[in-house]
Amino acid sequence: MTNKELIKQNLENYFGYTSFRNGQEEAVLAALEGRHTLVMLPTGTGKSICYQLTGYCLNGLVVIVSPLLSLMQDQVEQLKLNGEKRVAAINSLMDVQEKEWVLKHLSQYKFIFLSPEMLHQEYVMAYLTKVPIGLFVIDEAHCISQWGLDFRPDYLDLGLVRTQLNFPLTMALTATATKRVREEILASLYIDDKNTKEIVYSVDRSNIAFSTIICDRDKNQHLMNQIEKLKKPGIIYFSSKKTADEIAELIRSKTTIVAESYHSDIESEDKIKIQQQFVHDEIDIICATSAFGMGINKSNIRFVIHYHLPGSPEAYLQEVGRCGRDGKPSLALLLYEKGDSMIQFRLQEDTLPTVEMLEYGYKKGVTPEGSCSPSQKQLLENYLKSNLSIEIAKQQIKSRIVYKQQQLYYMIDYAETSSCKRRFLLHYFEEKLESKPDSCCSNCNLEIADYYGESDLKQKISSQNEKNWEETLNALFLIGK
């Protein structure tokens, strides 16, 4: 049996699909030929199948490095729903005894999900080096690059981890990465260019239309006007947890729409409950920070609204890519007001260590107590562990600040441009718009009214009510008895 026949057969056996989406077959075949792969496919187009199917076709353990607990848990649950019992996630949610048991029985597993922090634990690495690894997977690989969305310092050591694991076959996955970021991913992982295949598809999703509404101190009015009419379910993204809570409360008090807020201050149990209710069409709208969305397996999200300006085109496309995964028409709406960029500038300041923090850290060998945000602390600790001089550290931070500002300015230009918004976004990723969809953007005669309609939740309740009336009538008149 050829590799092509094998993967087609396994695709149906393990996942119930009879055909591949763009890029999937190409990625799996390259890996089965023994080539490392960097896979860039649009959000919501089935990147997880690339490594899962490859894993089923290879001997050995599949190790998946994932940046978010919610993402890990969702992938584990999806595999279990597909009947795969040989799967576990080793992370901070596990108690010591559970971790110990899984690590001692690694040979009995097929898929092991790990946070990058876990790979810093010597005892975890000791167990991993004892088992044959068929495939080493880095999910959300843009986190490796200091130029990428959601840069994670703990991802920087993955090249060293690959070395310790004797350079296993590797697959790096991302949805949004510029050419510069892709180059840095491969370099950071110590991946041999000659034995690597890049599978890169357009970030464009033709079923998502782009629209911007220019506001003038009337953002809430515009928001309420749109959400009452737009077909639901949907997500509204905020840069502020407080505003997310306030708007969720406003929606509940002024409409019959079922809305909940979601961010890092929400208790873990409540987060899981909200996620499940949203997935099962029991909630119309989620008012969320960027903490929501990764790993949420929901195909019928009809709109994504940004109440605040996102910090970069990468972040914007990641978040709007959570709507329309069923291929049906969906809307990405940005509510923009002059001065919206200030909140992002403040967030950027809280993300990177200042010159004073660097100087204190390098002089004392520790991070300054109480004055660092978690992100600043993590970056500073990473610099202190590295062999980089303070001069290089300062230069890198300076370059990072300039780059993040450029990304934000691009988003300001996107909000204010009178040209085609889809073309404008694609240009950032060095892509050209090959064919313009009928519903393109608010600068190309888009009608937002085309996206108005009843929510899935209301249709569900209406359908249930009809069913209840049928049952009542049947009982009254003994129909079918």
Condensed to tens digits (0 to 9), the pLDDT of residues 332-382 reads 999 999 989 999 888 888 888 999 999 999 999 998 888 888 888 888 887
In this chain, the answer to whether the domains covering 3-200 and 208-342+410-460 adopt an identical fold is yes
Domain ranges of the chain: 3-200, 208-342+410-460
Q: Are 58 and 134 in contact (CB under 8 A)?
A: yes
pLDDT for 292 equals: 80
State pLDDT tens for residues 263-309: 989 987 888 899 889 999 999 999 999 878 766 778 999 999 999 99
3-class SS at 303?
A: strand
In this prediction, residue 151 has a pLDDT band, given cuts at 50, 70 and 90, of low
Average pLDDT score over residue span 449-458: 78
Which residue pairs, CB below 8 angstroms and at least 24 apart, start in 157-162?
157/116, 157/119, 157/120, 158/65, 158/116, 158/119, 158/188, 158/189, 159/188, 159/189, 159/190, 161/119, 161/125, 162/136, 162/189, 162/190, 162/191
pLDDT for 79 equals: 93
pLDDT for 474 equals: 54
Average pLDDT score over residue span 35-58: 93
Domain 208-342+410-460 classification at class level: alpha beta
Q: Are 436 and 444 in contact (CB under 8 A)?
A: yes
For 125-270, list the strands marked E by DSSP.
Answer: 133-138, 170-174, 196-200, 208-214, 234-237, 259-262
pLDDT for 414 equals: 98
First CA to last CA across the chain, in angstroms?
Answer: 56
pLDDT for 149 equals: 54
pLDDT for 147 equals: 59
Q: Does domain 3-200 have CATH number 3.30.390.30?
A: no
In this prediction, residue 43 has a pLDDT band, given cuts at 50, 70 and 90, of confident
Q: In terms of residues, how long is the chain?
A: 481
pLDDT for 234 equals: 97
pLDDT for 264 equals: 85
Bridge partners, 333 (sequence order): 211, 305
Q: Are 65 and 119 in contact (CB under 8 A)?
A: yes
Residue 43 falls in which region: left (phi positive, over 0), alpha (psi -120 to 50) or beta: beta
Average pLDDT score over residue span 208-224: 97
Look up residue 50 and give its two tokens. Answer: 């690339």
In this prediction, residue 429 has a pLDDT band, given cuts at 50, 70 and 90, of very high
Q: Say if residue 478's pLDDT is above 80.
A: no
CA distance 385 to 299: 42
Phi then psi dihedrals of residue 457, to 5 deg: -65, -45
Q: Say if residue 436's pLDDT is above 50.
A: yes
Q: Say if residue 324's pLDDT is above 60.
A: yes
